[in-house]
Protein backbone atom coordinates (compact mmCIF):
# COMPACT_ATOMS: atom_id res chain seq x y z
CA UNK A 1 0.00 0.00 0.00
CA UNK A 2 2.80 2.39 0.94
CA UNK A 3 4.67 1.62 -2.27
CA UNK A 4 1.49 2.34 -4.24
CA UNK A 5 1.03 5.72 -2.54
CA UNK A 6 4.68 6.62 -3.13
CA UNK A 7 4.40 5.77 -6.82
CA UNK A 8 1.27 7.93 -7.09
CA UNK A 9 2.99 10.88 -5.40
CA UNK A 10 5.83 10.66 -7.91
CA UNK A 11 3.35 11.84 -10.54
CA UNK A 12 3.97 15.59 -10.54
CA UNK A 13 0.58 16.53 -11.94
CA UNK A 14 -1.19 14.48 -9.30
CA UNK A 15 0.91 16.00 -6.51
CA UNK A 16 0.39 19.54 -7.83
CA UNK A 17 -3.39 19.36 -8.09
CA UNK A 18 -3.96 17.30 -4.95
CA UNK A 19 -1.77 19.53 -2.76
CA UNK A 20 -3.09 22.77 -4.23
CA UNK A 21 -6.61 21.46 -3.71
CA UNK A 22 -5.81 20.39 -0.14
CA UNK A 23 -4.49 23.83 0.84
CA UNK A 24 -7.49 25.45 -0.81
CA UNK A 25 -9.86 23.09 1.02
CA UNK A 26 -8.24 23.98 4.37
CA UNK A 27 -10.25 27.22 4.37
CA UNK A 28 -13.53 25.41 4.96
CA UNK A 29 -12.01 23.50 7.88
CA UNK A 30 -10.72 26.75 9.37
CA UNK A 31 -14.20 28.20 8.99
CA UNK A 32 -15.90 25.25 10.68
CA UNK A 33 -13.42 25.27 13.58
CA UNK A 34 -13.48 29.01 14.22
CA UNK A 35 -16.93 30.26 13.19
CA UNK A 36 -18.67 29.60 16.55
CA UNK A 37 -16.11 31.80 18.34
CA UNK A 38 -16.10 34.46 15.62
CA UNK A 39 -19.84 34.88 15.31
CA UNK A 40 -21.05 34.18 18.85
CA UNK A 41 -18.20 35.65 20.91
CA UNK A 42 -16.78 38.37 18.66
CA UNK A 43 -19.90 39.44 16.75
CA UNK A 44 -22.17 38.46 19.68
CA UNK A 45 -24.91 36.72 17.71
CA UNK A 46 -27.25 34.29 19.46
CA UNK A 47 -26.92 30.52 18.98
CA UNK A 48 -30.08 30.56 16.86
CA UNK A 49 -28.72 33.38 14.65
CA UNK A 50 -25.41 31.54 14.33
CA UNK A 51 -27.22 28.44 13.06
CA UNK A 52 -28.88 30.51 10.35
CA UNK A 53 -25.60 32.22 9.43
CA UNK A 54 -23.78 28.89 9.19
CA UNK A 55 -26.50 27.50 6.93
CA UNK A 56 -26.43 30.58 4.67
CA UNK A 57 -22.63 30.41 4.33
CA UNK A 58 -22.84 26.69 3.56
CA UNK A 59 -25.01 27.57 0.57
CA UNK A 60 -21.98 29.29 -0.95
CA UNK A 61 -19.96 26.08 -0.95
CA UNK A 62 -22.80 23.78 -2.00
CA UNK A 63 -24.22 26.21 -4.56
CA UNK A 64 -20.91 26.90 -6.30
CA UNK A 65 -20.37 23.15 -6.51
CA UNK A 66 -23.55 22.96 -8.59
CA UNK A 67 -22.50 25.99 -10.64
CA UNK A 68 -19.29 24.11 -11.42
CA UNK A 69 -21.33 21.49 -13.28
CA UNK A 70 -22.66 24.20 -15.59
CA UNK A 71 -19.25 25.83 -16.05
CA UNK A 72 -17.72 22.52 -17.12
CA UNK A 73 -19.94 22.61 -20.21
CA UNK A 74 -18.03 25.66 -21.46
CA UNK A 75 -14.67 25.62 -19.69
CA UNK A 76 -12.05 23.02 -18.83
CA UNK A 77 -11.40 21.85 -15.27
CA UNK A 78 -7.93 23.36 -15.46
CA UNK A 79 -9.26 26.79 -16.39
CA UNK A 80 -11.93 26.75 -13.68
CA UNK A 81 -9.46 25.52 -11.06
CA UNK A 82 -6.84 28.14 -11.89
CA UNK A 83 -9.35 31.00 -12.00
CA UNK A 84 -11.01 29.92 -8.75
CA UNK A 85 -7.63 29.69 -6.98
CA UNK A 86 -6.73 33.20 -8.11
CA UNK A 87 -10.12 34.42 -6.96
CA UNK A 88 -9.75 32.71 -3.60
CA UNK A 89 -6.29 34.18 -3.02
CA UNK A 90 -7.40 37.72 -3.90
CA UNK A 91 -10.59 37.50 -1.83
CA UNK A 92 -8.84 36.17 1.28
CA UNK A 93 -6.13 38.84 1.01
CA UNK A 94 -8.77 41.58 0.75
CA UNK A 95 -10.67 39.96 3.61
CA UNK A 96 -7.52 39.82 5.77
CA UNK A 97 -6.68 43.46 5.06
CA UNK A 98 -10.26 44.51 5.74
CA UNK A 99 -10.41 42.55 9.00
CA UNK A 100 -7.15 44.14 10.14
CA UNK A 101 -8.35 47.64 9.25
CA UNK A 102 -11.83 47.10 10.66
CA UNK A 103 -13.63 47.57 7.33
CA UNK A 104 -16.18 44.80 7.86
CA UNK A 105 -19.04 44.53 10.28
CA UNK A 106 -21.15 41.41 10.64
CA UNK A 107 -22.81 41.76 7.22
CA UNK A 108 -19.54 42.53 5.43
CA UNK A 109 -17.80 39.59 7.07
CA UNK A 110 -20.64 37.27 6.07
CA UNK A 111 -20.43 38.42 2.45
CA UNK A 112 -16.66 37.86 2.35
CA UNK A 113 -16.98 34.47 4.00
CA UNK A 114 -19.68 33.52 1.49
CA UNK A 115 -17.48 34.48 -1.47
CA UNK A 116 -14.41 32.70 -0.10
CA UNK A 117 -16.33 29.50 0.62
CA UNK A 118 -17.90 29.68 -2.84
CA UNK A 119 -14.42 29.46 -4.38
CA UNK A 120 -13.89 26.11 -2.67
CA UNK A 121 -16.96 24.73 -4.42
CA UNK A 122 -15.02 25.32 -7.64
CA UNK A 123 -11.49 24.34 -6.56
CA UNK A 124 -12.38 21.19 -4.60
CA UNK A 125 -14.04 19.08 -7.35
CA UNK A 126 -11.74 20.25 -10.15
CA UNK A 127 -8.58 19.62 -8.14
CA UNK A 128 -9.70 16.03 -7.55
CA UNK A 129 -10.69 15.53 -11.19
CA UNK A 130 -7.40 16.93 -12.53
CA UNK A 131 -5.34 14.88 -10.09
CA UNK A 132 -7.11 11.63 -11.01
CA UNK A 133 -7.01 12.38 -14.74
CA UNK A 134 -3.21 12.49 -14.55
CA UNK A 135 -3.16 8.77 -13.70
CA UNK A 136 -3.99 5.66 -15.69
CA UNK A 137 -3.71 3.13 -12.86
CA UNK A 138 -4.31 2.93 -9.08
CA UNK A 139 -7.27 5.31 -9.33
CA UNK A 140 -8.88 3.97 -6.16
CA UNK A 141 -5.73 4.43 -4.10
CA UNK A 142 -5.21 7.87 -5.61
CA UNK A 143 -8.74 8.90 -4.65
CA UNK A 144 -8.14 7.75 -1.08
CA UNK A 145 -4.86 9.69 -1.02
CA UNK A 146 -6.59 12.87 -2.21
CA UNK A 147 -9.13 12.53 0.59
CA UNK A 148 -6.36 11.96 3.12
CA UNK A 149 -4.43 15.05 1.97
CA UNK A 150 -7.51 17.27 2.00
CA UNK A 151 -8.77 16.21 5.41
CA UNK A 152 -5.24 16.01 6.81
CA UNK A 153 -4.34 19.52 5.67
CA UNK A 154 -7.67 20.81 6.92
CA UNK A 155 -7.10 19.09 10.26
CA UNK A 156 -3.67 20.71 10.67
CA UNK A 157 -5.13 24.11 9.82
CA UNK A 158 -7.97 23.57 12.30
CA UNK A 159 -5.49 22.70 15.05
CA UNK A 160 -3.92 26.12 14.58
CA UNK A 161 -7.22 27.69 15.66
CA UNK A 162 -6.83 26.10 19.10
CA UNK A 163 -3.52 27.88 19.66
CA UNK A 164 -4.94 31.33 18.89
CA UNK A 165 -6.51 33.61 21.48
CA UNK A 166 -9.25 35.09 19.36
CA UNK A 167 -10.06 38.61 20.46
CA UNK A 168 -10.64 39.49 16.80
CA UNK A 169 -11.22 37.31 13.75
CA UNK A 170 -8.20 38.74 11.89
CA UNK A 171 -5.81 35.83 12.71
CA UNK A 172 -8.26 33.32 11.20
CA UNK A 173 -8.61 35.28 7.99
CA UNK A 174 -4.83 35.66 7.78
CA UNK A 175 -4.56 31.87 8.04
CA UNK A 176 -7.12 31.55 5.25
CA UNK A 177 -5.12 33.93 3.08
CA UNK A 178 -1.93 32.01 3.90
CA UNK A 179 -3.32 28.62 2.82
CA UNK A 180 -4.85 30.17 -0.32
CA UNK A 181 -1.54 31.73 -1.35
CA UNK A 182 0.28 28.42 -0.79
CA UNK A 183 -2.30 26.64 -2.98
CA UNK A 184 -1.89 29.20 -5.75
CA UNK A 185 1.91 29.13 -5.45
CA UNK A 186 1.97 25.34 -5.89
CA UNK A 187 -0.01 25.66 -9.12
CA UNK A 188 2.04 28.60 -10.45
CA UNK A 189 5.33 26.85 -9.68
CA UNK A 190 4.23 23.76 -11.62
CA UNK A 191 3.11 25.84 -14.60
CA UNK A 192 6.44 27.66 -14.68
CA UNK A 193 8.29 24.36 -14.74
CA UNK A 194 6.15 23.17 -17.65
CA UNK A 195 6.76 26.40 -19.56
CA UNK A 196 10.51 26.14 -18.95
CA UNK A 197 10.51 22.51 -20.13
CA UNK A 198 8.53 23.45 -23.25
CA UNK A 199 10.98 26.26 -24.03
CA UNK A 200 13.85 23.78 -23.89
CA UNK A 201 12.11 21.14 -26.03
CA UNK A 202 10.81 23.41 -28.82
CA UNK A 203 14.24 24.69 -29.97
CA UNK A 204 15.46 21.11 -30.16
CA UNK A 205 12.59 20.29 -32.52
- Compute the distance between CA of residue 89 and CA of residue 95 in angstroms, rounded to an integer: 10
167: in domain: yes
| Domain that residue 162 falls in | 13-197
Residue 80 CA, chain-centre distance (Å), reads 13
Q: 1: part of which helix (H) or strand (E)?
A: none
**Do the domain assignments include residue 54?**
yes
Separation between Cα atoms, residue 32 and residue 34, nearest integer Å = 6
CATH (domain of 44)? 1.20.1250.20
At 201 the pLDDT is 47
Indicate the number of domains in the chain: 1
Q: Is residue 202 part of a domain?
A: no
Predicted pLDDT of residue 177: 92
What is the SS3 string spanning 119-176?
HHHHHHHHHHHHHHHCCCCCHHHHHHHHHHHHHHHHHHHHHHHHCCCCCCCHHHHHHH
Its pTM stands at 0.84
**Would you state the pLDDT for residue 103?**
86
Provide the residue-wise pLDDT of the chain in tens; the chain has 205 residues.
888 888 888 888 888 899 999 999 888 888 888 888 888 888 888 989 989 999 998 888 888 888 888 888 898 888 999 999 999 999 999 999 988 888 888 889 899 999 998 999 899 889 888 888 888 787 888 888 888 888 888 888 777 777 766 677 888 888 899 999 999 998 888 766 554 544 444 444 4
4 is a domain residue: no
Amino acid sequence: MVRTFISILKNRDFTTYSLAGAFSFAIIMLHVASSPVIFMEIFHVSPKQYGIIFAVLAIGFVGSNQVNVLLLKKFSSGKIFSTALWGQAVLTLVFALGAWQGWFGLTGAMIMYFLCLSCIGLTYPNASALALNSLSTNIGSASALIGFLQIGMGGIASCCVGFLKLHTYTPIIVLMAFTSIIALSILITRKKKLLTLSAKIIPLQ
